[in-house]
Amino acid sequence: MSAHSAHAEAHGHAPGAPVLVTHHHVSTVAILTKVFLTLVILTIITVGVSQVDFGSANMVIAMLVAAVKAALVMTFFMHLRYDTAINNIFILSSFAFLALLFVFTLTDFSTRKAVNPIHAKRAPIAEPDTHYLWKTPRTKEHKHE
Amino acid sequence: MTTYVPVAETEARQEPGAPHYLNVTHGFRSWALTLDHKRIGLMYLIGTVASFLIGGLLALLIRVHLWKPEGAIFDPELYNQVFTLHGVFMVFFFIIPAIPAALGNFVLPMMLGAKDVALPRLNLASFYLWLCGLVLATIAIIFGGVDTGWTFYTPYSIQTPTAVIWMGLGIFMVGFSSIFTGLNFVVTTHKLRAPGLTWFRMPLFIWAVYSTSLLQILATPVLGITLLLLVFERVYGIGIFDPKMGGDPVLFQHFFWFYSHPAVYIMILPAMGVISEVISVHCRKPVFGYRMVAFSSLAIAVISFLVWGHHMFTSGQSEWAMMAFSFLTFFVGIPSAIKEFNWVATVWQGSVALTTPMLYALVFLIIFAIGGLTGIFLATLSVNIHLHMTYYVVAHFHYVMMGSTAIAFFAGVHHWWPKMFGVMYSEAWAKLSCLLIFVGFNLTFLPQFIMGSQGQIRRYATYLERWTPYHQASTVGAVILGVGFAIMVAYLLHSLLGVRKARRNEWGGVTLEWDSPSPPPLENFERPPVVTREVYDYSVLNPKS
Amino acid sequence: MHTPQEAGGHGAGHDAHHHGVVVPAPPGFVPHVVAHHFDTAEAEFSADKLAMWLFLATEVLLFGGLFAAYFYYHGVYPETFKVGGHQLNWRLGALNTLILLFSSYTMAMGVRAAQLSQKALMQKMLGITVLCGLGFLVVKYFEYAAKVSHGLVPARWFSDHDHVMAGVENGHLFFNFYWTMTAIHGLHVLIGMLLILWVMKGGAKGRFYGGYYLPVDLVGLYWHLVDLIWIFLFPLLYLVP
Ligand SMILES: [Cu+2]
């Protein structure tokens, strides 16, 4: 049975005829297998790269490889490639809005110690002793009650 | 299939005994297990209004307590709990679900010409999630209340002996209820529009609720994980937000406001949608600049994700981040102003009918203008430092949340009441109550702007002698406000006796919900609607002119 | 366009009179009745699928919050996270990664079988997927047990009695992230397994065939998302860069 005739049935050209094959896209076994094998190779690459010290580039590489793996899973296993535009837009925009959370939060963190130069010209700013609370060692007697 | 022509049927009243969604089935189970969006909307209406009355009663108690500088009723610990509960009930149990879940559930599928929302079972499940959240919040009150303020800032929320865990879980559930409602509305809007109802023929209420739903879907999960981490923090002490264990409380504030600033627009956007509908119908004019108003809803939704740090100007956030947040915050003013100007332009030269819903809409226009403009001062970094944690902030957000969103909610309730129940309320009492609410509201909160700008700090159980006149004026206003709402409850309940039956198209609206009997039948329409005209085309009502 | 067929029975489960389009099924399968408020099976399919994608978007943001916190503290305490990461057994982590990737593969094969009305193959593929999920949780159990034996337990019970984290600040923080993230992820694995078992129950009755495989598809999407999250968790926790 060809995909085309199934398509016709689902649209009611032959009402009452059983729908044996969906008229949606059906992935081939070959493509699913290829994607799985690629994912395995990428996992090996992730582990391999982590054993070599590239400094701060390690994080970038690890995340890039993970992003490629995620993209493969979404595109082929989750069928996004054959899905509607609107479904693509929604799931991708969730990553975009998540990026906003990352960008603003990490901007705050990474510029926390930067002093506005306008202030710096007028008066030296004393090192505040109340912030950077994480410099305080954890105390054993701390309780949550 | 017939084309939608409401003219002939504007006057028709529902036949006595004709089956509609209220009388088609009977008994507790027929309501508890209903999948009908109208019944679910009605249950939300009852639930949210009950929460509003609880929150309102707490507000009255707060105002009465503040009659005297040393405080009239509570000791300070109890006072902290009372204002916390007031905030939690009003924000999470009333304002956020009120317009989308109560009015939206009823109206949105009808406006789209659909038989129901896309996922009726999920709709019922969201209602029960909301109810479970309410139960957990009640348990929290029994187990010692909560005294952190509605924002649950760490580290205090980790240390306080009050029932933060129960309340946190309750709000977690309410949050997911809100997510599922939003998800349902987005799918319904995409997939169940009547034939001919293109995106730019959709009423503006749909645009507003659609934008709100996007916010609910994209922002609320972050609140969910934040509250979950807070619960873990208290149960296990994971230390992520606890400075004693190396955590950073400012991160909690980031997470909290990543949700809670967009949540401000989850509250106001549907209100704006209601106002667009009410003004158009009661002025007999299409909304001026329809597309701009529609797009400004989406613009507000997107911009609202870029500004949350303006709640954290005194938190120790980095100066660069603060400058960025302050700068970006001003942009929210643009789409909001577009809406305000377009509404005013709609009223201009319209044939204004001063009905109760229209009066509420006019109140909204005034109060929202004040609420929006006073926000500009708070967005300004340097001024914010002065005004932070003062009554100025309290007054500002009450002008937006209570004076705008709640007022728009009541505009919507009065607008769709005849459609929901097939009865009309007494317009005379309704107008009196609207007047009292307008006067009472301004008397309550205008003095708070003044004393706040002079440095009166918020959230304290006592105050200095010099603020007495302001506080007492505010308390008098709150009592007037309370009387106004009491009258409203009375005449609305009285109207249900059915003394005055409502017409099919009580106000002469041209959106699809008026093309259905009042109250509507189970699947909303007698015949599947087909849309052939542009939105808000009132020429259909009086074809001769 | 289409000729809606009235359903004979009352299966749609709505308030009063219900009627919906029937999708004809091959012999041996139970025909699906479309919910009454949809005009076509395709409308129902696309609506429910959009709903699932929106739900997955909320899951992305929910886990995203945890990831944002992770990166924040990774920036504050790079040493703590490095030393903490070395305490985890990356071999077991990699094994679990491969198990989940394979389960995603079998899940995709299961959906394919459902699309082609191959009932036996679908049940087999879904069964393997559940077993993989179980395997993942068993490996996780051994990992957790090893951590507990070193006192690297969550939060307030953190004792670190072998002093593996002695040299760094706030050593407990890394393990709090480890436990919180893997526990929430593990809960999703468990829910996913239950959902697949539920689909298999319907599959055994012949509910899913070429004309109606929606639940298989939706549960599959959920399962892939669980895999997706692990793809990021694995390098961040076990191979801390
Ligand atoms: Cu804000």
pLDDT at B11: 57
Question: Does C41 lie at the interface with A, CB-CB under 8 angstroms?
Answer: yes
Q: Got the DSSP string for B233-300?
A: HHHT---SS-GGGT--HHHHHHHHHHHHHHHHHHHHHHHHHHHHHHHHHHHTSPPTTHHHHHHHHHHH
Whether C233 and C68 have beta carbons less than 8 Å apart is answered as no
Residue B353, domain extent: 7-540
Q: Is residue C11 part of a domain?
A: no
User: Among candidates B57, B49, B48, B64, which has minimal Cα distance to B85?
Assistant: B57
Per-residue b/e over A72-92, b at no fewer than 16 CB within 10 Å? bbbebbbbbeebeeebeebbe
CA atoms of B212 and B190, how far apart (whole Å): 15
CATH number of the domain that residue B189 is part of: 1.20.210.10
**What's the rounded Cα separation, in Å, for the pair C103 and C97?**
10
Task: Reduce the secondary structure of B12-62 to three states and give it as a string.
Answer: CECCCCCCCCCCCCCCHHHHHCCCCHHHHHHHHHHHHHHHHHHHHHHHHHH
Segment C170-210, tens digit of pLDDT: 878 888 899 999 999 999 999 999 999 999 999 999 999 99
Tell whether C96 is within 8 A of chain A (Cβ): no
Per DSSP (E only), the strands in B110-236 are none
- Is the CB of residue C137 less than 8 Å from the CB of residue C118? no
Query: What phi and psi, each to the nearest 5 degrees, are found at residue B146?
Result: -135, 140
Label residue A14 by pLDDT band (50, 70, 90). Answer: low
Q: Which of B156, B233, B254 to mutate to test the interface with A (most CBs of A within 10 A)?
A: B254
Q: What is the ipTM of this complex?
A: 0.91
Q: How does residue A115 score in pLDDT terms, banded at 50, 70 and 90? A: low
Give the β-pairing of B2-3 and B529-530. Answer: parallel
| B3 membership: H or E segment, kind and range | strand B2-3
Q: How far apart are alpha carbons B41 and B130 in whole angstroms?
A: 12
> In this structure, how many other beta carbons lie within 10 angstroms of the beta carbon of residue B535?
20
**Chain C partners of A135 at a C-beta cutoff of 8 Å?**
169
Could you give phi then psi for residue B14, rounded to 5 degrees? -65, 135
Residue B409, in any domain of the structure: yes
Structure tokens at B79: 């006072």
Query: Which region, left, alpha or beta, applies to residue C88 given φ > 0 means left and ψ of -120 to 50 means alpha?
Result: beta
Instruction: Show which subunits contact C, needing at least 3 CB pairs below 8 angstroms.
Output: A, B
- Residue A7 confidence class, pLDDT cut points 50, 70, 90: very low
Give B88: exposed, middle or buried? Use CB within 10 Å, 0-12, 13-18, 19+.
buried
Residue owning tokens 């693509």: A88
How far apart, in whole angstroms, are the C-alpha atoms of residue C231 and residue C229? 5
Phi, psi of B377 (to 5 degrees): -65, -40
How far apart are alpha carbons B357 and B434 in whole angstroms?
Answer: 9
B319 vs A116: CB contact, 8 Å cut-off? yes
Partners of C23 in beta bridges: C32
| Residue C28: inside a domain | no
Alpha-carbon distance of C47 to B185, in angstroms, equals: 11
B28 and C CB contact within 8 Å = no
Give the pair of three-digit tokens for residue C57: 């978007």
Can you give the pLDDT at residue B342?
A: 95
Read off the pLDDT of each residue in A112-135 and give the average, rounded to a whole number. 52
Instruction: Give the pLDDT score at C46.
Output: 94
Q: Which of A94, A104, A134 sits opposite B321 (nearest CB)?
A: A104
Burial of C7: CB neighbours in 10 Å, binned 0-12, 13-18, 19+: middle
Q: How many CA atoms lie within 13 A of C170 on its CB side?
A: 27
Q: Tell me if residue B390 falls in helix, strand or coil.
A: strand
CA–CA gap between residue A21 and residue B76 (Å, rounded) = 70
**The Cα angle at residue C62 between residues C177 and A132, in degrees rounded to 5:** 45
Round to whole Å and give the CA distance between C30 and B461: 66
Question: What ranges do the domains of chain A cover?
Answer: 27-82, 84-119
Residue B265 Cα, ligand 1 centroid: separation in angstroms?
9
Q: Residue B306 domain-assigned?
A: yes
Whether B13 contacts B502, CB under 8 Å? yes
Beta bridge partners of C33: C22
Q: Report the pLDDT value the prediction gives residue B542, as an integer from 0 to 100.
A: 65
Instruction: Give the DSSP per-residue string, C201-215.
Output: HHHHTT--BTTB-HH
Q: Which residue has the tokens 């077991």?
A: C92
What pLDDT score does B141 carry? Answer: 87
Say if the Cβ atoms of C53 and A35 lie within 8 Å.
no
Decide: B289 and B339 in contact? Cβ < 8 Å: no
**Helix H or strand E segment including C180:** helix C171-204
Which DSSP letter does residue A135 get?
G
Q: To the nearest whole angstrom, how far is the Cα of B325 from the nearest Cα of chain A?
A: 9
Is the previous residue joined to B155 through a cis bond, with omega within 30 degrees of 0?
A: yes
Query: What is the pLDDT, as a whole number, of residue C164?
Result: 73
Ligand 1 ion local residues (Cβ < 5 A): B 261
pLDDT number for residue C183? 92
pLDDT score of A8 more than 70? no
How deeply is A20 buried, as exposed, middle or buried, from its count of CB atoms within 10 A (0-12, 13-18, 19+)? Answer: buried
Ranges of H-type helices in B331-355: 333-347
The alpha carbon torsion through C44, C49, C54, C57 (nearest 10 deg) reads: 170
B430 C-alpha to center of ligand 1: Å? 33
Question: How many Å lie between the alpha carbon of A73 and the closest alpha carbon of chain C?
Answer: 7
- Residues of A whose CB is below 8 A from C57: 90-91, 93-94
Nearest to B250, CA basis, from B306, B201, B321, B305: B321
Q: For B4-13, B252-261, C60-69, C96-105, which range has the lowest pLDDT when averaged over its residues? A: B4-13
Domain count, chain C: 1
Tokens of B526: 């007698």
DSSP string of A97-112?
HHHHHHHHHHHHHHTT
Task: Identify whether C19 is part of a domain.
Answer: no
What is the least distance, in Å, from the CA of C157 to any CA of chain B?
8
User: Would you call C51 and B247 a contact, using CB atoms and an 8 Å cutoff?
Assistant: no
Q: What is the pLDDT of residue C11?
A: 36
pLDDT of A22 strictly over 70? yes
Specify whether the CB–CB gap between B189 and B145 falls below 8 A: no
Distance CA C5, CA B521 (A): 23
For residue A30 the two structure tokens come to: 């070959």
H/E segment holding residue B395:
helix B391-400
Burial class (CB in 10 A: 0-12, 13-18, 19+), B33: exposed
| Residue-level pLDDT at B429 | 96
- Does residue C109 sit within a domain? yes
E-strand stretches of chain C: 22-23, 32-33
According to the model, what pLDDT value does residue A117 have?
Answer: 58
Contact assessment for residue B264 and residue B271, using Cβ atoms and an 8 Å cutoff: no
**Assigned domain for B2 exists:** no
Calculate helix-pair angle for B37-65, B407-421, nearest 10 degrees: 140
Q: Is A142 on the interface with B (CB under 8 A)?
A: yes
Low-confidence stretches of chain B (pLDDT < 50) are 1-8, 544-545
Assess whether pLDDT exceeds 80 at residue A5.
no
Cα four-point dihedral sign B245, B251, B252, B253: positive
**Assigned token pair, B371:** 């609420």
State the average pLDDT over residues A70-87.
95
- Neighbors of chain A with 3 or more C-beta pairs under 8 Å: B, C
Q: Nearest chain B Cα to A132, which residue?
A: B248
User: Identity (one letter) of the amino acid at B314?
Assistant: T
Q: Which residue of A has its CA nearest to C55?
A: A91
Q: Which positions in chain C touch A61 (Cβ < 8 Å)? A: 241
Work out the pLDDT band at C8, boundaries 50, 70, 90.
very low
Confidence category of residue C53, pLDDT binned at 50, 70, 90: very high
| CA B250 centroid distance within chain | 28
Q: How far is the CA of B506 from the CAs of B2, B39, B410, B418, in angstroms?
A: 22, 21, 17, 7
* B246 in reach of chain A (CB within 8 A): yes
Q: At what angle do helices B105-112 and B164-191 cross, to 10 degrees?
A: 10
Q: Which residue of C has its CA nearest to B521?
A: C16
B412 within some domain: yes
pTM of this structure: 0.90
* Dihedral sign for Cα atoms in the order B259, B261, B262, B263: positive
Write the pLDDT tens digit of every residue in C110-142.
Answer: 999 999 999 999 999 999 999 999 999 999 999
Number of compact structural domains in chain B: 1
Domain annotation covers residue C3? no
Most confidently predicted of A129-143, B505-519, C13-27, C212-226: C212-226
Instruction: Determine the Cα–Cα distance for residues B336 and B313; give it in Å rounded to an integer.
Output: 23
Phi/psi-derived region of residue C28, left when phi > 0, alpha when psi is between -120 and 50, beta in every other case: left
For residues C7 and C13, what is the distance between their CA atoms, to the nearest angstrom?
12
For residues B247 and C155, the answer to whether their CB atoms sit within 8 Å is: no
Whole-number pLDDT of residue B87? 93
Ligand 1 center to residue A49 CA distance, Å? 43
List, for residues C24-37, the tens digit of each pLDDT value: 888 889 999 999 88
B481 within a domain of the structure (yes/no): yes
